[in-house]
Structure 1
Amino acid sequence: MVRHKNRYMVIEINGESRKPTESLHLKPGSLHHSVMSMVQKLHGDFGVAAITAGFTAKYCNEKTRVAIVRCRHGPHRFVTSTLPLIRTIENKKVVVNTLYIGATIKQCFKFIRRYQQRKFDEYCIGLKSEEQKEELRTAILNLDPILKIT
């Protein structure tokens, strides 16, 4: 039996016409479909066949616009080369930035925790009441979907 190594890519999906504090409603399935179609355009049938076996979009956070994509080690290069070229997801204009590439989902979880804490600190500067801060804290720092993955 052969062990298959995976790579987990933490990406940020920014809407072109949106404010940084607005949420972006995306489903992991639509992210999966847009990445597969871009790999088809750039790398053809070979690229799609290479990434199909272990490719999934694991997580999408609406508030911080962070997502996790998993792919097998080796063909993950096809995915990482196409991520910056994705311009539309669900007919929404977006810009995709790769934040982190890790070998385990635990390391990606640690990175996301630090990243979301930084985002929370940035967004809290403009808020005055504790109620607003607590509401934002529960929205941004809610890591339950990631905990269900691991």
Structure 2
Amino acid sequence: MVGFKNRYMVMEVFIDPNRELAVEDPIILTQFNVSKAIKDSILVNFGECGMASSLGSFQVKYVNPITKLCIIRASREEHQKVWSAITLVTSIGNCPVLFNLLDLSGCIRACKTAAMKCEESKFEQYRIVGRENLPVDVTQRMQNYVEKIKLLEN
């Protein structure tokens, strides 16, 4: 028996790239928000047939609203369609966004490794950019998100 072949994409989300850096983000990224935006983009750009073929194994596996990193799973046959739809997403809610692909892999283990490296460097950057005195709850939430990455499985 052969299992489903999937592709995993580690994506970085840039929220409203024209805004001031000091302003807080207008939305909180969640798996639901990201998934809905991608599904809407697939529907608009590829129609109902493209939507039906893409949703077989499509899933937003992980989203970190602190570092704006997410992991998305798509079937091997449809990952290019999903990737195309992701690049065509212009907003989540009413907030303009851009997606940047950081890593594309065929197994969850390689994806977890790439995501861990990105999380560490992005959180260090988050600390440096004027937020040295982070509240304890932000650091604790970040540790919880890192634990979620470690527990990811198919």
Give the TM-score category using the shorter length.
0.7 to 0.9
- Aligned partner of 1:132 in structure 2 is 134
Among residues 92, 95, 116, which one is paired with 1:92 in the alignment?
Answer: 95
Separation of aligned partners in 1, 2:94 and 2:69: 18
Alignment of structure 1 residues 1-150 onto 2, 5 Å? 1-16=1-16, 17=19, 19=21, 22=24, 25-126=28-129, 132=134, 137-141=139-143, 142-150=145-153
RMSD (CA atoms): 2.6
Alignment check: 8 A CA contact 1:10 1:69 kept = yes
Go from structure 1 to structure 2 and tell me whether the alpha carbon gap of 1:59 and 1:20 turns closer, same or farther (over 3 Å shift).
Answer: farther
Alignment check: 8 A CA contact 1:26 1:60 kept = yes
SS at structure 2 position matched to 1:132: coil
In the TM superposition, residue 82 of structure 1 has moved relative to its aligned partner by: 1.5
Which one is further off, 38-47 or 7-16?
38-47
In the TM superposition, residue 67 of structure 1 has moved relative to its aligned partner by: 0.6
Alignment check: 8 A CA contact 2:7 2:106 kept = yes
In the TM superposition, residue 117 of structure 1 has moved relative to its aligned partner by: 1.8
What one-letter code is carried by the residue in structure 2 that aligns with 1:3?
G
Render the CA deviation track for 1:71-99: whole Å, top value 9, x for unaligned.
11010110111211101112222111111
Where does structure 2 lack aligned partners over 5 or more consecutive residues?
Answer: none
Separation of aligned partners in 2, 1:42 and 1:95: 17
Q: TM-score, normalised by structure 2?
A: 0.81
Where does structure 1 lack aligned partners over 5 or more consecutive residues?
Answer: none
SS at structure 2 position matched to 1:53: coil
Taking only the aligned residue pairs, the percentage that are identical comes to 25
In the TM superposition, residue 110 of structure 1 has moved relative to its aligned partner by: 0.7
